[in-house]
Amino acid sequence: MKEKNSISSIKKRLDAEVLKRNQIGEVNEDKLDPIFVAYRYKDPTISLICALFAYGNVKQIVKFLNSLDFSLLDKGEDDIQESLKNHYYRFQKAQDVIALFIALKRLNQKDTLENVFKKAYLKNNSVIDGINELILTIKELYPYESQGYNFLISKVTTKTKGSGALKRWMMYLRWMVRNDNIDMGLWNGIDAKDLIIPLDTHTFNVGKKLGLLKRKTYDLQAAIELTQRLSSFDAKDPLKYDFALYRLGQESLI
């Protein structure tokens, strides 16, 4: 009974936190998040760029994203090369940023990110399969290798234990699939129950402190386990708790 009461109290707190955080003004100049830039455009390709660069200090992330000219995605590759030759961010040198813009420009000329993702996702309702297909397509359309670029777009994931949590990709999917005052819901035909939480240090630590996550290793399996636990609170939309968990950790409230 004690366990049930504990879980019940946690759910009650998180439900209240979701209501508190699911407000249009929750993301602003004083409470930054990478979606602050993405929301300005409400475009899947621009959103992916925002998500992939979403690591490190949030102020530096937003500063870098604001420095990018996203209209380059509709311009020639020579223009992209010239305009981004001095842009870099942490592990990514200018050529890494250029490579991403050119790859996404070529993808948009051929298909859409949504279609490429869904082609693989719909086979088994697996978002990991969908992400893998996007990574493969990006690499095929613009073959380029560097340490910074490989970190930026991630590698194909074939296992969950011991592998990266794919946090930035999972966050991107949350933005694209869910539709509320935080997320944009730009894609259709993907079930919110299939999403996996974009596990970062805040959600990982808060999940452990609340007893929602037993796994001690920060990996994709931990993200899946936390998502499964949140599914017991809302089977149709477990990721509605993600932003609330993130803010609780970011603001040191737990």
Structure confidence by residue, pLDDT tens digits, 68-80: 999 999 999 999 9
For 156, the enclosing helix (H) or strand (E) is none
The pTM (predicted TM-score) of the whole model is 0.96
Any residues with CB less than 8 A from the CB of 72 and at least 6 apart, and which? 79, 80, 83, 84, 101, 105
At residue 174, the pLDDT reads 98
Burial of 168 (0-12, 13-18, 19+ CB in 10 A): buried
At residue 55, the pLDDT reads 97
Per-residue CA distances from 168 to 82, 103, 111, 152, 178 (Å): 27, 18, 22, 9, 15
At residue 1, the pLDDT reads 36
Per-residue CA distances from 120 to 9, 38, 140 (Å): 38, 25, 16
At residue 41, the pLDDT reads 98
Torsion of CA 106, 108, 110, 112, to 10 degrees: 140
At residue 6, the pLDDT reads 87
At residue 193, the pLDDT reads 98
User: Which residues in the chain show pLDDT less than 50?
Assistant: 1-5
Cα gap 91→109, rounded to integer Å = 28
At residue 2, the pLDDT reads 45
At residue 227, the pLDDT reads 98
